[in-house]
Amino acid sequence: MRRQVGALLLLASSVSGAELAGRVLEQHSGAPLDRAHVRLLQPPGATEVETDAAGRFRFAANPEGPFRIGVSREGYADGLLTGSPGAVADAVIRLAKTGVITGRVTNPQGSPIADARVIPLLNHRPLVAHESGVDDRGIYRLYGLPPGEYSVAALCPEIEPQLAGRAFLITSGDEYRDVDFTLSPGQFQRVSGRVQYPDAASPLLLKLASVEFPSFAVADALADKDGSFVFEKVPPGAYHLLALGPSQGNGGYGGFLGSNPVYGRARVDVHPGQDVKELDLATYPGATVSFVLGGPCGKGATLELTSEEDWGSKTRRRLEVSVSTPGKLIDLAPARYHVTLTGLGSSCFYAGDPILDFTAGAPESFKLRTQPGASLHGQLTGPGQNQVGVILIQPEGDRAAFEAAMPDTSGSFALEALRPGKYRILTVPAAAWSKGPWTPAASRMTEVELLPGRLTNLELPVAHLP
């Protein structure tokens, strides 16, 4: 998956034949950023340099073909820059500072809730890697948030998840304080039933995961010897009832499953004032699925399946997959798994569904389709072409991610190895880039669809720029 990018870039001048060098600056202040890691991604290699106190970097060798530079620094969104050989004398790369959201989670009496978690959501998807616990004072701190529009949810066992009543737009280093939550245990209902479980001597773990936040379990329980189970304090809401066993205990980080595990799942709706009784949950052995790499590119890759729900165990599964030999994953839960394929190479992408839904059964084999990247070559035309500093390309539906390309002196530019799909393109005047915070105007963007393995040629007319 391409890393999230929120960099602003300025091409100060272009000198043919110069070595590849430049500066990294903070986007909103223009202050130089030292110790930023600048990596030459294309052509591939391990060439990485660090910026000095003035934010300067310099690569010893000038790449002969098209190049792509990635920039990263703690506390800033990553930056990506694409350019042509010999075109750059002093590339100024501006990195957007990541944002912060802080506050407290307390009960109505003002006491901190030690078990609470706070999760940021970007485009309605929880960013679990950025979640925060609360400390002994109830304080949480979400940091390192790339540019984007966030909502925030506070979660606590036995309490209905709570969303903050507003959205938080982060462009460059925005910090939102006192985003407080008061979590109040409301009405509880009892959820009980019996699970059909062949090995009554070993404990079976049950969880109630929120449908809205499936990575969060509001309640845990162990089935008794006869398979009966009770969740005592369940707030009204929609849940996935998840069962797995034999459980060999729980160390606070998830359960330890014994051999030959079984799983069960059902949807449970809990209404105010109504206990849920006599649930009957069947369990089944885990699925075995053979995975093979398909499609025109990549000989091997690493597959990672991450279950959307909190099963408490085996939530993340890894497998090396290849084109020639199927690889098997055993004991897969009836879960919705997010698919990540890494190691395909920089110009190859996973083309299948990003989620494998095994909730109603899993196939015996699954082909992980891949597709080659797309290329975009363009030519700026019109009276304003010499004033364009950078062309920004933004995947559709992602307000925060950008990749930047620099036109050469004749106004042509090239972007290679892009994930196929719809994009929006914007030409940005050099002068506009140098004036600090900047937000792209969607109305001025050109839309284009890039097809896998195909080169798209584009002519971008540019009027006189202000």
**Residue ranges that bind other proteins, judged by CB under 8 A:** 46, 74-75, 100, 111, 114-115, 135-136, 141, 143-144, 202-203, 205, 220, 222, 224-225, 247-253, 255, 259, 300, 302, 318-320, 322, 325, 327-330, 343
Cβ proximity to other proteins: between 141 and 367 the closer is: 141
Task: List phi, psi (to 5°) of 264.
Answer: -150, 155
Cβ proximity to other proteins: between 74 and 364 the closer is: 74
Cβ proximity to other proteins: between 182 and 434 the closer is: 182
Cβ proximity to other proteins: between 300 and 429 the closer is: 300
Cβ proximity to other proteins: between 207 and 424 the closer is: 207
The token pair that represents 357 in the structure block: 């839904």
Q: Pseudo-torsion of CA 397, 142, 155, 109, nearest 10°?
A: -140
27 with 437: CB under 8 angstroms? Answer: yes
Alpha helices in 148-260 (DSSP H): none
Cβ proximity to other proteins: between 277 and 328 the closer is: 328
- Closest separation between CB of residue 383 and other proteins, Å? 45
- Closest separation between CB of residue 143 and other proteins, Å? 4
- Closest separation between CB of residue 385 and other proteins, Å? 40
54 with 32: CB under 8 angstroms? Answer: yes
Residue 214: closest CA among 300, 130, 121? 121
- Closest separation between CB of residue 67 and other proteins, Å? 19
Q: Pseudo-torsion of CA 390, 396, 402, 406, nearest 10°?
A: -20
| Cα distance from N-terminal residue to C-terminal residue, the chain | 37
How do 455-461 and 374-381 pair as beta strands?
parallel
Which residues make Cβ contacts (< 8 Å) with residue 110, sequence separation at least 6?
A: none
Cis peptide leading into residue 214 (ω within 30°): no
- Closest separation between CB of residue 264 and other proteins, Å? 17
The token pair that represents 122 in the structure block: 């970007």
Cβ proximity to other proteins: between 205 and 417 the closer is: 205
- Closest separation between CB of residue 7 and other proteins, Å? 19
- Closest separation between CB of residue 442 and other proteins, Å? 30
**Which residue, chain included where needed, has tokens 């992408």?**
349
